[in-house]
A and B are shown apart, each in its own frame.
Chain A
Amino acid sequence: MTAPQPHGAGPAGPAGPADDLADDLAVYADLVHETDDGRWAFGTGFTDPLAGVDTRVPAGIDGGALAMYCRMLGDDALVHSQRLQEWVTRAPELEEETAIANIALDLLGQARRLLTRSGTADGSGRSEDDLAYWRAPHEFLSVPLADHRDADFAELVARVLLLATWRQAVCLELRHGADPVLAAIAASAATELRYHREHAALWVVRLGRGTELSHRRMQAAVDRLWPLRGELYRDPPVVARLPGVAVPAAAVRDAVEDALSGVLDRAGVDGPPPGPATGAGRDGHHGPDFAEMIDELQSVARAHPGASW
């Protein structure tokens, strides 16, 4: 393999029109010649997000419970990522489009690893694709906040702030958990989530302290979304089956509340208290829009089962 030469790197010599043309053609040459370089976006054969990682479940940990817990965290990320992707081409400005797409990409990466961990923890051997594309909507275990359809940009940034703050707090705790695979996934996720949270917080403050209109819409978004965090503070039964592995809500609640109020205070926005939690979402019960979103997420995989490129 020959390393591709970066354009513009190194000392630039005098370039005439002929050189420019050669450069232009070289770009296309990469696409048509059977070389290893320049074609990586079309598939490499490396598909396992935990390639070579020791995925044996440590003694004393309930593999089935661990798998379910990983599906919960993985589904939160997958579903939130999908909702963010719906905003691509609809963002208010190009820079924000890039940000939304990259946050969605990070969450997708976290979902891939968590779903892969799920399939290895319960011994089912189900891959990330099996779990993402071949489960029915009622088999997804995400919280209602994750699949909320944002009505406007204020809701989008409020929801990223809320979910990233909670998720980062959970991941910081998970780093010390008894399953080394989940701990490793969480450690890298925590640094990604911190950046998402900072970005969303800057927008919440900017809009909250902006014009009368932007403040009103930021406040409306928080009024709508903040009560939904009640579900984040209710432990699904599986948490009790994973002592030392799963993170109980009580371990993160205060830190999450402090971090959220810190941002809202600076934004001049009031945060309503958490609403009642019923366990919906974590038990497979979702709102009316959920099946439609999953249908779109799965449509290509189901139209071409087993397809590769």
Chain B
Amino acid sequence: MTGPATTPVEQRAWEVLAGVADPEMPAISIVDLGVVRGITCGNAGLEVTVTPTFAGCPATAEILAATGRTLRAAGLGEVRVVLQPAPPWTSDWITERGRRALAGAGIAPPDRPATAPTGDGSRTVDLDLRPPAPAVCPRCGSRHTVRTSAWGSAACRGLHRCRACGEPFEAVRAV
């Protein structure tokens, strides 16, 4: 689950970045979060493209900085980190390993596939006022949960409460 790698250096870079924690959700690596979009090795060194989860995410700068810093510290030579705003990040890019890591840290992974109308066919402004599908409680596995807040401690998460075990938890939003 580390993306296409065609050279040993690129493969090594994916492995190194798989050890870099997301600043706001340290349980998951930036590779498993799906924000590292590509690594290519050319004559000028490594070029890494990164797509932030949200335009306003305050952790973006640290993700970009940590990417370059960590690869250089691993002895992988010159590194250029490039922001790639499109296509926009979707929670569908979170890997299976990432989903397990989130659940292990008490954060419910997002439903898949995400329902956001990102396809080119969606030219109209649709409006879905149905309540979101209940998240699965990461502690007891129950679907008998309720969203208590549309946003949580970060832009990518909401707050939920499990009616089965009574515990509050966070869930990554499906976008």
Q: Interface residues, chain A, CB within 8 Å of chain B?
A: 1, 3-6, 8-10, 36, 40-41, 43-47, 49-53, 94-95, 98-99, 101-102, 105-110, 112-113, 165, 168-169, 172-173, 175-176, 180-181, 183-185, 187-192, 194-195, 197-199, 201-202, 205, 255-256, 258-259, 262-263, 266
Contact = CB atoms under 8 A, between A and B. Distances in A.
A16 to B, nearest CB: 22
Contact of A188 (B58, B64, B85): B85
Nearest to B101: A9
B125 A99 contact: no
A109 B83 contact: no
Contacts of B55: 49, 106, 109-110, 112-113, 185, 188-189, 192
Nearest to A3: B21
A184 B125 contact: no
User: How many residues of B sit at the interface, in one of the four size bands?
Assistant: 35 or more
B127 A262 contact: yes
Contact of B21 (A4, A51, A202): A4
A40 B104 CA distance: 24
Given A98-B151, A259-B127, A263-B127, A106 B54 contact: yes
Given A1-B69, A202-B129, A255-B125, 17 more contacts: A3-B19, A6-B21, A9-B105, A40-B23, A46-B60, A47-B61, A51-B81, A52-B83, A53-B85, A106-B56, A109-B54, A112-B55, A168-B125, A175-B120, A187-B85, A189-B55, A191-B88
Contacts of A49: 55, 83
Contacts of A176: 120
Contacts of B86: 180, 183-184, 187-188
Interface in B100-119: 101, 104-106, 116-118
Per DSSP, chain B at the interface is: loop
B129 A188 contact: no
A102 B151 contact: yes
Nearest to B86: A184
Ordered nearest first, which 4 A-B pairs have the shortest CB separation? A109-B56, A52-B82, A109-B55, A184-B86
A108 B56 contact: yes
23 contacts: A1-B20, A1-B69, A1-B70, A1-B73, A3-B19, A3-B26, A9-B101, A9-B105, A10-B104, A40-B62, A95-B149, A99-B151, A109-B55, A110-B55, A173-B123, A188-B85, A188-B86, A191-B118, A194-B117, A202-B129, A258-B125, A259-B126, A259-B127
Contacts of A169: 125
B52 to A, nearest CB: 8
B99 interface: no
A305 B98 CA distance: 42
A122 to B, nearest CB: 20
A270 to B, nearest CB: 19
Contact of A4 (B26, B70, B83, B149): B26
Given A109-B56, A191-B116, A9 B125 contact: no
Contacts of A40: 23, 59, 61-62, 65-66
Contacts of A263: 127, 129
A5 to B, nearest CB: 7
Nearest to A169: B125
B152 interface: yes
Contacts of B41: none
Contacts of A105: 56, 58, 155
Interface in B109-168: 116-118, 120, 122-129, 148-152, 155, 159
B26 A188 contact: no
Point out which of B60, B84, B88, B117 has the most chain A C-beta atoms below 10 A from its C-beta.
B88
Contacts of A181: 85
Contacts of B90: 191
B155 A102 contact: yes
B118 A99 contact: no
B32 to A, nearest CB: 12
Nearest to A259: B125
B154 to A, nearest CB: 8
A204 to B, nearest CB: 10
Nearest to A262: B127
A51 B127 CA distance: 34
Given A102-B151, A191-B175, A255 B124 contact: yes
